[in-house]
Structure 1
Amino acid sequence: MRIHLSSVFVDDQDKALRFYTEVLGFVKKTEVPLGEDRWLTVVSPEDPDGTELVLEPAGHPAVGPYREALMRDGIPVTSFAVDDVHAEYERLRALGVRFVQEPVEMGNVTVAVLDDTCGNLLQIARAA
């Protein structure tokens, strides 16, 4: 068994696609129209056949309270692995990304938390 798909709920799929591709560096894998929304996935360019991240429309009534609680409590919805958290932090800050937590070392793990501009906090992490 392996993880095939994971989802993040986003306010605006077009805005999310731009952020996740142009800023974070993922590449679009799938785009299928589904009425007003789309089945829209991105993948790491380092693993194009790996886990797909679904940029899921946030229209379901349960999504709003869930995301508001996570944002209020500063809890990232997911975590992305990077080779160097400090370097990625600087790269993303130079692109205008807002971080809610600068890089922090916790034992053998370094993490930072950013706002994806689409209603979510994301963590970048590197295990030593």
Structure 2
Amino acid sequence: MTNPSKRKGTAFESTVVPYLREHHNPAAHRNVQMGAEDIGDISGYYLHALEAKAEKSIDLPGYIRQANREAVNVGQPFGCAVVKKRNATVADAYVVRDLRTDVRLMNRLRDAEELLRDVAPTVYADFEQRHREAA
């Protein structure tokens, strides 16, 4: 690979995947480039097409457009970009989506939690305790 930008992007993707495997989904993996019908850089981020970006000049609108287009291509409800934070670990990268997408995601989460609370209150209480962690 002779393109330094491509090499930097591949290196970042190669740090995001192990992080996702350890903390989210052991089956997370890098995708093969698909051209016009691209499906995102990484699969296995629940409900998302994920674009990984490690660029000097950050283009949030372009990243979001690309992620949302790729979510449609792969049949996922949400797209997001994981943007490398300079001089920081992969855990400090930024996950970026437009407000429209984030509101849809939060509505889905809220509705799922309300359903769980109504159908199985004790399971919900355990779930709530396990996931209650301040930023």
Work out which structure has the larger RCO, using CA pairs closer than 8 Å and 6 or more positions apart in sequence.
1
Higher strand share: 1
TM-score, with normalisation over the residues of structure 1? 0.28
TM-score, structure 2 as length reference: 0.27
Per residue, is there more helix in 1 or in 2?
A: 2
Rg larger for = 2
